[in-house]
Structure 1
Amino acid sequence: MKVDVIIPVYGPGNRLLELFDRLGRQTVPVDRLIIMNTEKYLWDKWTETLEPGRLPENLSVYHVTKEEFDHGATRDAGIGHSDADVCVCMTHDALPADTNLIKALTDALFSGDDIAVAYARQLPATDCNIIECHTRDFNYPDKSRVKRLSDLDTLGIKTYFCSNVCAAYKREIYRKLGGFIRKTIFNEDMIFAAKAMKNGYAVYYAADARVIHSHNYTASQQFHRNFDLAISQADNPDVFSGIRSEGEGIRMVKDTARWLVKTGHAYLVPKLVVDSGFKYLGYLAGKRYKKLPRKLAVKLSMNRNYWK
């Protein structure tokens, strides 16, 4: 079995080197590291500073411009360069927590013929703020599970949840289903997961496959991110219509507030309320983005190159 890892990169640095090093120590070896780099001059400028031989021998680098980059199309192009049985999509700011990541993903992926995707648990980094630490635990619990279309009644929007921060795909099924959507501002992973389930496949959340990945977003950044999230839902009604995301968000806020009080961090509840309010406002605006002036929509978006 061959496993390739596809990593979109913009502005490479030391963290990418650490990712290469950790992937090189996996118990299940990676055949090729396929980099989809945005802006060739940034890659060239960075590699000129490296010692000879510092980059791994199994590295393949392909370049796109800012205008060409798309969350779905660029990753799909990366998978198109692969002939492996398994393609693992990662982001360049996610780090394997141990040497077992690829094995845990592939074990989950081949635990059943109907498993199309297996995605990893995301652990908070050492600099992660307290609220975000709990959000990681809420969204990525320590128990694995297989999700199918029949779970919609109980899991709601979480049924389709999947993250290309670290997710493994059976390439044969991926190609059979047409791959990622080619034009999307966000959520190419969830859209594919929904398509897979509607075609009789399942998605495996592999809690034993662990990566270190978290963000300390400001309230403003949360607004922009949720604006883009809602746009992806508004643009794909065949996937998201009739499934409310708000209920899951409210459940997370309540759970986090209880946890903050219980653990002696009640003073952070006002921050939680403010951050959650910005998230919700961004989501509401994104749902209605077609009614907004285009210039305003671009300003409210986190991914402004998408609009060019």
Structure 2
Amino acid sequence: MKVSVICPVYNGEKYLKNLFSEVREQENIEFIEIIAPISKSSDNSLEEAKKYADIAYEVNNFNHGRTRHEAALKANGDYLVFITQDIVPVDKLWLYNLIKDLSDKTVAAFSKQIAYKEHGEIEKLIREFNYPDMRRICSKENAEINGRKNIFYSDAASVIIKEEFFRLGGYNFIVPTNEDVVLANNIIKNGKSFIYEPNSKIYHSHKLSFKENYKRYEDIGKFEKLYSKEIDFSNTSGEGKKLVIFVIKNLLKKGKILELGYFGIDILVRLLGYRKERK
């Protein structure tokens, strides 16, 4: 397996030494190349990346899609692995388990995400809902079974066969967020499939303020409006309701009353941000 790992970086100096060391220590992989496009940062991200990555360079105008695509053009591996700077592999088989079942038909996969211990119960439950232990194959044939999850895909830790990536147009577009959803939709529209692989595990979660969540969901609403004619988002609200019910039930079961109140405000903030742009 010859793998190119692409990790966009912004103010990520504190993550890079540990993250890139963990990537290089992955087992059963013949060749690992690390490519780090660095957005202009206020720390020493560029200098630090040059120490530990094979290719590190500064990006003037970051975009979630186009920046990743331009990095992929520099890749020498047969597989493109996209990660974010704030993940940590759970074990040394994360990468192998992510890649091992790809084929001519199943051209991509993404990892299970586990919340960091220091993050709150809400974030842990959201990750538990979105990243269960059951493997899922997403394809045209499974669209009815999977519902909205059929185009649920995260490039916080994902892989795609490089040849297929470019055949599908890759990430060669400008988006406010959710470039991975566009790619997932293109995979399925072209008769291919991708896997949610729960045996490939990473730690990844956020501790965002209400303001940050508002902006995040504002971008999601903007994205869905932009792609409303190309991608079917009709099941989004239904999946969102399932998530809310799951979190509330488990917070009540655990007696997390304060977290329940916080979650109510957080959901309202996300909804307001989403609806602002989705109208």
What interval of TM-score do these two structures reach, taking the shorter chain for normalisation? over 0.9
Is 2:14 the counterpart of 1:14?
A: yes
> Which of the pair has more CA radius of gyration?
1
Offset of residue 219 of structure 1: 2.4
| Aligned counterpart, 1:24 | 24
| Aligned counterpart, 1:293 | none
Question: Within 1, Cα distance between the matches of 2:142 and 2:37?
Answer: 34
Offset of residue 39 of structure 1: 2.1
- Confirm or deny: 8 A CA contact 1:5 1:89 kept in the other structure: yes
- Pick one of 75, 83, 86 that aligns with 1:82: 75
- For 1:226-275, what per-residue CA distance to the aligned partner results, in whole angstroms no more than 9, with x for missing partners? 11011111111233345231111111001111111112223422221111
Counterpart mapping for 1:1-308 below 5 A = 1-29=1-29, 30-39=31-40, 42-43=43-44, 46-47=47-48, 55-56=51-52, 59-65=54-60, 68-108=61-101, 110=102, 112-241=103-232, 243-288=234-279
Question: Within 1, Cα distance between the matches of 2:172 and 2:232?
Answer: 17
Sequence identity (%): 26
Offset of residue 24 of structure 1: 1.6
Offset of residue 128 of structure 1: 0.9
- Confirm or deny: 8 A CA contact 1:105 1:118 kept in the other structure: yes
Q: Which amino acid aligns with 2:100?
A: D
- Confirm or deny: 8 A CA contact 2:9 2:84 kept in the other structure: yes
Question: Within 2, Cα distance between the matches of 1:273 and 1:100?
Answer: 38
Q: What residue ranges of structure 2 are gaps of 5+ in the alignment?
A: none
Q: Which amino acid aligns with 2:55?
A: S
Offset of residue 38 of structure 1: 1.0
- Confirm or deny: 8 A CA contact 2:24 2:32 kept in the other structure: no
- Confirm or deny: 8 A CA contact 2:15 2:86 kept in the other structure: yes
Normalised by the size of structure 1, how large is the TM-score?
0.85
Q: What residue ranges of structure 1 are gaps of 5+ in the alignment?
A: 289-308
Q: Superposition RMSD on alpha carbons, in Å?
A: 2.0
| Aligned counterpart, 1:306 | none
- For 1:146-198, what per-residue CA distance to the aligned partner results, in whole angstroms no more than 9, with x for missing partners? 11123333333221011110000100111111111410011111111101101
Change beyond 3 A, Cα 1:86–1:264: same
- For 1:6-39, what per-residue CA distance to the aligned partner results, in whole angstroms no more than 9, with x for missing partners? 0001123221111011112110345210011112
Change beyond 3 A, Cα 1:104–1:237: same
- For 1:30-67, what per-residue CA distance to the aligned partner results, in whole angstroms no more than 9, with x for missing partners? 521001111288547754xx9xxx933x62112211xx
Offset of residue 107 of structure 1: 1.1
SS of aligned partner of 2:174? coil
- Confirm or deny: 8 A CA contact 2:94 2:202 kept in the other structure: yes
Normalised by the size of structure 2, how large is the TM-score?
0.93
- Confirm or deny: 8 A CA contact 1:156 1:243 kept in the other structure: no
Q: Which amino acid aligns with 1:37?
A: I
